[in-house]
Amino acid sequence: MTSSLARQLADAVRGQAVHAGTAEPAIRGANWRLATVASVGTDGTITTTDGIVARRTGDYLGAAAGQVVRVGESSTGNWLSDGPLGTGSGAWTGIPLTSGWTATAGYYTPAYQLLGDGTASLSGMASMSGALAAGTTVATLPAEARPASRVRATVQVAAAAGVGYYGVMTIQPDGTIILGDFDAALPGTGSKYAQFDVFGRYRLT
């Protein structure tokens, strides 16, 4: 098959897919450009500051005004956006722990990671000895890793005589990470734990 004939066949197949509404033609790299999001629609679109209305691809989550995104025009004249430029370095940054809490030996040191899709991750474990009161602040996240609303997860906070004690770990919008809502009165002695790994991923906006 000649290259010309193969090209014509590929174009025909692509055209049929578009006509059937099953696919959007691929956008050539040269047709992508940068734009700033002005507003986010409830129908899966964004509107840029220069008036382009683009549909978000399935990977574009956490759209927000002010993001610098890639937009591209397909051969059908529709605009698409595959999301913002990466803002997360992928590096893990240590989390400042409150006095009395230390990184638990044998586990990752508590840290956060910013991801490019408007989310963040926490990792590691910290511990302290003695009494643990409900509402105790374990650590405080820097502004870049703070969620816009509260994020909660169930964690094991202590163990004694083969019994596990559980509570809720909450990340507050001001960055404080607190423990509370215990399922039973905690032992007054022994180690208490803060398991940051429960927040494998959470929204920032």
Nearest of 33, 86, 90 to residue 60 by alpha carbon:
86
Cα 110 to Cα 71: distance, rounded to the nearest angstrom:
37
Name the CA radius of gyration of the chain, rounded. Answer: 24
Amino acid present at 36: T
One digit per residue, the tens of pLDDT, for the chain of length 205 reads 554 544 544 444 444 433 334 344 555 544 788 889 999 999 999 999 999 999 998 778 778 888 888 898 877 778 999 887 665 556 899 999 999 999 999 999 999 998 877 889 999 999 999 999 999 999 999 998 999 999 999 999 999 988 999 999 999 999 999 999 999 999 999 999 999 999 999 999 8
pTM, to two decimals: 0.61
